[in-house]
Structure 1
Amino acid sequence: MADPSLYTYSSPLKGYEGLDPLPTEKETEGPNAKAYINPPSNTLSKAYDEFASPITNGTRGGFDLHIYYLQTNAEETKFATELHERIRREFPELRIYRLFEGPIGPHPLAMFEVNVLTPQQFGALVSWLVVHRGPLSVLVHPNTGDDVRDHTQRATWMGQPIPLQVGLLRDIEKMKAQQRAQSNGL
């Protein structure tokens, strides 16, 4: 996990300043009982069709999902192999990578990765994994270009969080910064 004090945060109300106060009335009956009555809107949030900035909306994919399994546990390995096949069959439009049989990069366990390119794919796969991931942990992180923050402060976990080797990501960021400085003649 990341120390939240390392980052700055824009107000969630940015772009919504100066509006009338929201009503405090609540529904009194039915499935919405006790829920606030919200003012109607003529349009849906853009977040239904594109990822919020700074999340990538291009070919890289908006989110990566890393599905971990303990490679020394035969039952987990079998389950991960079967889950991998099921995802490939049920979601063939997603970018699905091979099963890595051991640690790779900042990931200390065996895993496989799935990329989602649209909010619709994200909603479908994440809700599906809530039911079907079994004993496996899943790291869900956005792609914004800030790999350390994406894998820590902006990450979400399903199941037990796995401690990542974030130092490796920091080392990669340092190397990229040095390469940029060299190519800019600094």
Structure 2
Amino acid sequence: MSDPSLYTYPSPLEGWRGGEPLPTEQNTEGPDAKAYINPTSTTPSKAYNEFTTPITNGTRAGFDVHIYYLQTSDSEMKFASELWERIRREFPELRIYRVWDRPIGPHPVAMFEVNVFTPAQFGAFVPWLVINRGPLSVLLHPNTGDDLRDHTQLATWMGQPYPLQVGLLREFVQRKKEQESQMQ
């Protein structure tokens, strides 16, 4: 993870200030006991249908899911290969890349990548992966256009986190900027 003090954070209430005071009553019975009673809403959050800005909504994919395995472990290699096949069969609408048998880019161990394009896909695939990832670790990150922040400060891990080669990622970002400036 990166140092959170490197970034600024807008208030979570931006655009939501000045509304009616929230109720302070709590449910008293059933499975919702002790939960606060929320105000009724006439419109569901837009986040049910599109990723929150600045996460990409489109062909770039809103989220990348990197599924790691130790290339020195025969059992993890076999599990990763079988998981890769299962994902392709059960979630054919997702974009899935090859299974790398060695570290690639900033990723310190072997892995394969899956792209998720919509909140509905995210909502189906991520809980499924929580249950079915077995012994493997998963790096889940949004695509906001800030590759370094996406892979560090905005990333979420399932299982044992691996230290990314952030220096390689910085070099990649720098080369990308140089290429973009040459094209202008």
Q: Normalising by structure 1, report the TM-score.
A: 0.96
Identity percentage of aligned residues: 73
Distance 1:10 1:36 in 2: 25
* 1:36 and 2:16 matched: no
Distance 1:19 1:124 in 2: 33
State the 1:176 CA deviation: 2.4
Q: Which runs of 5+ in 2 are unaligned?
A: none
State the 1:183 CA deviation: 4.0
Q: How does 1:46-85 map to 2 (within 5 A)?
A: 46-85=46-85
Question: What is aligned with 1:135?
Answer: 135
SS for the counterpart of 2:114 is strand
1:107-132 Cα offsets, whole Å, 9 max, x none, are 01110000000001001110001110
Q: How does 1:104-119 map to 2 (within 5 A)?
A: 104-119=104-119
Moved over 2 A (4+): 176-184
When the two chains are superposed, the root-mean-square deviation of aligned CA atoms in Å is 0.9
State the 1:168 CA deviation: 1.0
Count of matched residue pairs: 184
Distance 1:84 1:35 in 2: 39
Q: Which runs of 5+ in 1 are unaligned?
A: none
Question: What is aligned with 1:10?
Answer: 10
Q: Normalising by structure 2, report the TM-score.
A: 0.97
Q: Which moved more, 1:53-62 or 1:174-183?
A: 174-183
Question: What is aligned with 1:156?
Answer: 156
Distance 1:179 1:93 in 2: 32
Distance 1:129 1:179 in 2: 36
SS for the counterpart of 1:44 is coil
Letter paired with 2:169:
L
State the 1:150 CA deviation: 0.1
Distance 1:183 1:99 in 2: 32
Distance 1:162 1:151 in 2: 12
State the 1:15 CA deviation: 0.5
Letter paired with 2:15:
G
